[in-house]
């Protein structure tokens, strides 16, 4: 499970922590899960918050599973009063109140750190942020939590990753961060499937991984490269004037489960087995993880071209999805009730417009590039590329609007 954040000011650490907590509490065997937090801003606030998260999670996860809590992001769960009925277990209200108090303590700790009211000391973690620039810093990889026992109410592995950045090497933005996470996770846990979510998109359905695995493993002849859950929001108007509910399965955006071998460049005709070898001890493999997170690691390799997330567009999710489909793979769009993931849509107009501009620019980059149409030999494939890529040029009124 990959959680990505890039700016602790624009993406408050408490929001990232809530997304992490919602993933740690999903209904799935914890020894088969690992949560990686990619901090592309290399922020001490983000690292501090992620270190504090397991302390609360050790209480939160058993509570969620004991009472079958549906929404497992605490900030959403505690936004309403507890629902009591004659069927409510005895002691529930007392535990609910205690859990809310513990969550408020966590929030206060993080807020004190944000306001510089509490010193951040990472000396025991051998991490020094004193001379770190978000655009020029060494790799930092910290195993926050390592699970060694198969406990139903336990926590999955937790790993913090801030890849190396150097002004002389392009960091390739989100695509570069995803490729680093792919390599680091292959060294540490090497699961055959990967989930990526933005830091503000929490797991809204605790059985989300079970649903994805049923789709990826439930067919004799695997044809699906990834399962995409729609990007949906909890704070939009009913008539959705900004089109936030428009969903597509061509992208590998937030809320997407991938086959690792597909990200590595496998085509549908490749028959190699999934490699699920895992190290016995995460801490012993950290040195190798540092090596693959180095800023020069991708030099003279196929990463960003034929392996991993594809470089060349600000909408790396669209370009990567198109290349995967061009290799013969299919994808699945899974719409659940309740939705698999929920996030907050921009509440400020200019922020929404900036996001839309980025998306439209990326699609036009792809549409007008010379490489994309070569990916699809069929007429239907080229029509699909043209329809998706030219979406941003549909700005004028249609015939039925005049």
Exactly one of 27, 317, 400, 401 is catalytic; name it. Answer: 317
Catalytic, 200? Answer no
SS3 state of residue 326: helix
Exactly one of 40, 200, 270, 400 is catalytic; name it. Answer: 40
SS3 state of residue 343: strand
CA 38 to CA 185: how far, in whole Å? 11
Question: Which helix H or strand E contains 366, and what residues bound it?
Answer: helix 349-367
CA 334 to CA 226: how far, in whole Å? 10
Calculate the CA 267 to chain-centre distance.
Answer: 24
Measuring CA to CA, how many Å separate 374 from each of 105, 316, 320?
55, 18, 14
Other beta carbons less than 10 A from residue 156's beta carbon: 24
Catalytic, 317? Answer yes
CA 237 to CA 151: how far, in whole Å? 41
Q: Is 198 annotated as a binding residue?
A: yes
Q: Is 174 annotated as a binding residue?
A: yes
Eight-class DSSP state of 392:
G
Q: Is 11 annotated as a binding residue?
A: yes
Other beta carbons less than 10 A from residue 83's beta carbon: 8
CA 25 to CA 34: how far, in whole Å? 12
Return phi, psi of residue 145, to 5°: -150, 130
Task: State the binding site.
Answer: 11, 40, 174, 198
Task: State the binding site for Mn(2+).
Answer: 174, 198
Q: Which residues are catalytic?
A: 40, 317
């Amino acid at each position: 499970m990959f959680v990505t954040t890039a700016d602790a000011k624009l993406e408050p650490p408490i929001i990232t922590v809530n997304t992490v907590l919602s993933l740690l509490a999903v209904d799935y065997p914890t020894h088969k899960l690992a949560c990686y937090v990619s901090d592309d801003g290399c922020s001490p606030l983000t690292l501090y918050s992620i270190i504090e998260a397991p302390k609360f999670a050790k209480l939160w996860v058993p509570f969620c599973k004991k009472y079958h809590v549906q929404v497992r992001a605490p900030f959403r769960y505690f936004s309403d009063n507890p629902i009591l009925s004659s069927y409510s277990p005895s002691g529930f209200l007392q535990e609910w109140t205690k859990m809310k108090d513990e969550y408020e303590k966590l929030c206060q700790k993080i807020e004190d750190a944000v306001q510089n009211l509490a010193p951040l000391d990472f000396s025991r973690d051998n991490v020094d942020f004193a001379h770190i620039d978000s655009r020029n810093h060494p790799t930092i990889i910290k195993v926050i939590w390592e699970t060694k026992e198969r406990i139903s109410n336990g926590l999955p592995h937790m790993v913090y990753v801030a890849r190396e950045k150097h002004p002389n090497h392009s960091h390739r933005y989100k695509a570069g961060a995803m490729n680093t996470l792919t390599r680091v996770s292959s060294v540490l846990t090497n699961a055959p499937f990967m989930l990526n979510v933005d830091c503000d998109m929490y797991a809204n359905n605790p059985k989300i991984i079970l649903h994805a695995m049923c789709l990826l493993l439930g067919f004799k002849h695997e044809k699906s490269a990834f399962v995409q859950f729609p990007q949906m929001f909890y704070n939009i108007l009913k008539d959705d004037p900004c089109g936030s509910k428009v969903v597509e399965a061509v992208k590998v955006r937030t809320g997407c489960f991938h086959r690792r071998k597909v990200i590595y460049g496998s085509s549908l005709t490749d028959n190699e087995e999934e490699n699920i070898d895992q190290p016995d001890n995460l801490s012993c493999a950290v040195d190798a993880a540092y090596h693959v997170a180095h800023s020069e690691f991708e030099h003279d390799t196929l990463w960003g071209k034929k392996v991993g997330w594809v470089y060349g567009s600000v909408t790396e999710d669209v370009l990567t999805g198109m290349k995967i489909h061009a290799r013969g793979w299919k994808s699945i769009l899974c719409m659940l009730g309740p939705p698999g993931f929920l996030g907050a849509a921009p509440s400020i107009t200019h922020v929404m417009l900036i996001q839309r501009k980025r998306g439209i620019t990326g699609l036009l980059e792809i549409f007008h590039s010379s490489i994309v149409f070569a990916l699809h030999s069929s007429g239907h494939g080229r029509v699909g590329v043209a329809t998706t890529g030219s979406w941003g040029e549909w700005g004028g009124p249609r015939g039925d609007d005049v």
